[in-house]
């Protein structure tokens, strides 16, 4: 009996040690602050504002995410003609990358595919505007592609048959999956997430965010 108690005690101590060691390793892992994947543009990236690529601002976003819609509205005010913040667009290259949180946003993938399909007809940004502006409508639909996205394609004067085909193509789906994979590898777990010149940006308020960009 004493022998069994000794064995159990040893196993218990060993288990505790391994648990504490695991916690120590987890706590003492270096926090990643540099993300080289966000310092370079990909050939299929969606970019706007400055094309000088001196300061690269990358957003990982989800068209069904309410916080992303708020961020989108802020970015639109920056680029609006006559905006007090318009100078930001002259020195920052803005990049949109997909991170559809499909686990909680069941229409996010479909919206991303719609944007990519429109992008194949050079209307990515215009479709993105419509998706964010009408988010509360299409996210409640059982079939947003049929009930909303096709109408957006018509509004943008796209070739609707091509748009439908591209939205369901493996090329478009793989394009979105590529961004999603990159985001997962960097440990991104929420949207919107911003990176500026390879550094993750903590956006406490969009006023601070704009001040930071103006200082570049």
The arithmetic mean of pLDDT across residues 131-154, rounded, is 98
Residue 38: band (very low, low, confident or very high) from pLDDT cuts 50, 70, 90? confident
Residue 21: band (very low, low, confident or very high) from pLDDT cuts 50, 70, 90? very low
Above pLDDT 90, what percent of the chain?
78
Domain 37-214, classified CATH 3.40.30.10, yes or no? yes
> 65's torsion region: left (phi>0), alpha (psi -120 to 50) or beta?
beta
CA dihedral 48, 50, 56, 57 (to 10 degrees): -50
| Greater model confidence, 4 or 90 | 90
Q: Edge-to-edge strand order for the sheet containing 193-196?
A: 46-49, 93-98, 56-61, 193-196, 199-201
Q: pTM for the full model?
A: 0.83
Is pLDDT of 136 > 80?
yes
DSSP code of 120?
T
Tell me how far apart the alpha carbons of residues 166 and 20 are, in angstroms, rounded to a whole number: 52
DSSP code of 186?
T
| Pair type for strands 46-49 and 56-61 | unpaired
Q: Is the omega angle on the peptide bond into residue 216 within 30 degrees of 0, that is, cis?
A: no
Q: Is the dihedral of CA 213, 189, 178, 61 positive or negative?
A: negative
Number of H helices, E strands in the chain: 10, 5
Is pLDDT of 30 > 50?
no
DSSP codes joined into one string, 147-166: IIIHHHHHHTT--HHHHHHH
Q: How far is CA 136 from the centre of its chain?
A: 19
Paired residues of 167 in beta bridges: none
């Amino acid at each position: 009996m004493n022998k069994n108690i000794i064995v159990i005690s040893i196993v218990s101590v060993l288990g505790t040690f391994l648990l504490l060691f695991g916690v120590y390793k987890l706590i003492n892992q270096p926090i990643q602050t540099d993300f080289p994947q966000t310092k370079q543009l990909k050939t299929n990236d969606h970019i706007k504002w400055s094309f000088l690529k001196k300061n690269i601002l990358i957003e990982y976003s989800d068209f069904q995410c309410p916080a992303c819609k708020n961020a989108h509205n802020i970015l639109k005010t920056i680029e609006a003609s006559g905006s007090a913040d318009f100078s930001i667009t002259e020195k920052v290259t803005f990049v949109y990358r997909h991170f559809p949180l499909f686990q909680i946003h069941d229409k996010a993938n479909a919206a991303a595919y719609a944007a990519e399909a429109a992008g194949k007809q050079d209307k990515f940004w215009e479709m993105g505007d419509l998706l964010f502006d009408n988010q509360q409508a299409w996210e409640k639909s059982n079939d947003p592609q049929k009930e909303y996205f096709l109408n957006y394609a018509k509004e943008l004067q796209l070739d609707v048959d091509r748009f439908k085909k591209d939205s369901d193509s493996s090329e478009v789906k793989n394009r979105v999956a590529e961004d999603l994979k990159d985001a997962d590898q960097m440990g991104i777990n929420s949207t919107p997430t911003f990176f500026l010149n390879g550094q993750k940006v903590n956006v406490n308020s969009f006023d601070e965010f704009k001040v930071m960009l103006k200082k570049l």
